[in-house]
Copies of this chain bind each other. A is one copy, B any other.
Amino acid sequence: MSENLTGAQLREQIRSGKWRGQTSGAAKGFVQANLVMMPREAAFDFLMFCVRNPKPCPVLDVLEAGETEPSIAPGADLRTDLPRYRVFRHGKFEKEVTDVQEYFDGNTVSFLLGCSFSFENAMLAKGLPVRNIEEGKNVSMYVTNRKCRPAGPFSAPLVVSMRPLTPADAVTAVQVTTRFHVTHGAPVHMGDPAAIGIDDIGRPEFGDPVEIREGEIPVFWACGVTSQLAATSAPLPLVITHSPGHMFVSDLTDEQMTIL
């Protein structure tokens, strides 16, 4: 079972080309991360953006220009160990690739940012339903009307992920996810989608719609996709990100990420 792999074992499968799919549910219990790569000249402004907006963009690791081995996964190579990457030129999507060695050079800085998979595992362990997992779908993500604090040339609206819960389960979810402060932490909103600029909860901008049952309210968490919108908001010559759902899998465990 792929969920029983360690982070290192899953990365080995990815690097050798045996694994090309999404990483949701795989190597369960190991922290997965959003990836952003960009030229060093823009790296201070982007790191400043992340530090200024820690809920959507929690920094798990920053690598020096040209470095490929993150501290949170010794032996890993960020150029080859994600199943799928996206390449952007001057802020525009160019293509998806399975290896970025030809794009990466000694001037490239890599950022790894926290991902909500960590707290989804903790919610499941507490007996809370995670609808997107129940339905075998990607989580529903929405662009809100809240603006992140900009930094240098980078700006973005806050993107959120949504999981439907009863009010009582939402209370427990606040408690559970608060512990995961470097993987988005507590929700940013609960209830009325229109209050944060979401017109149609049935049509997420990213991911899939999920059922909201009678008696449930939508609960919204800050989402790492915000970092992708920010990174591509400036006309940089090159930006590389993971492809949605195809994350970097580290050696850290979810529990190691908690504040309490």
Residues of A within 8 A of B (CB): 40, 43-45, 47-48, 51-52, 59, 61-62, 64, 71, 109, 149, 151-152, 178, 181, 185, 259-260
* In the bound complex, CA of A45 to CA of B185 (Å): 26
A47 contact set on B, CB distance < 8 A:
44, 47-48, 51
User: Which among B51, B71, B181 is the interface contact of A259 at CB below 8 angstroms?
Assistant: B181
- Cβ distance A37 to chain B, nearest Cβ, rounded Å: 14
Q: A45-B64, A185-B259, A259-B259 are in contact. List 19 more A-B contacts (CB 8 A).
A: A43-B44, A44-B44, A44-B47, A44-B109, A47-B47, A47-B48, A48-B62, A48-B64, A51-B59, A51-B62, A52-B62, A52-B71, A62-B151, A64-B151, A71-B149, A178-B260, A181-B181, A181-B259, A260-B260
> How far is the CB of A255 from the nearest CB of chain B, in Å?
15
Q: Which of A40, A71, A151, A260 has the most CB of B within 10 A?
A: A260
Q: Which residues of B contact A181 (CB under 8 A)?
A: 181, 259
Taken together, the copies of this chain in the complex come to 2
What is the CA–CA distance of A47 and B237 in the complex, to the nearest angstrom? Answer: 23
Top 4 A-B pairs, shortest CB-CB distance? A44-B44, A48-B62, A43-B44, A51-B59
In the complex, residue of chain B having the shortest beta-carbon distance to the beta carbon of A150: B64
CA distance A178 to B52 in the complex (A): 21
The answer for the CA separation of A44 and B43 in the assembled complex, in Å, is: 7
Residue of B nearest to A182 (CB): B54
Chain B residue with the shortest CB-CB distance to A175: B260
Contact present for A259 and B43 (CB under 8 Å): no
Q: Report the bound CA distance from A185 to B258 in whole Å.
A: 13
Q: Quote the shortest CB–CB distance from A56 to chain B (angstroms).
A: 16
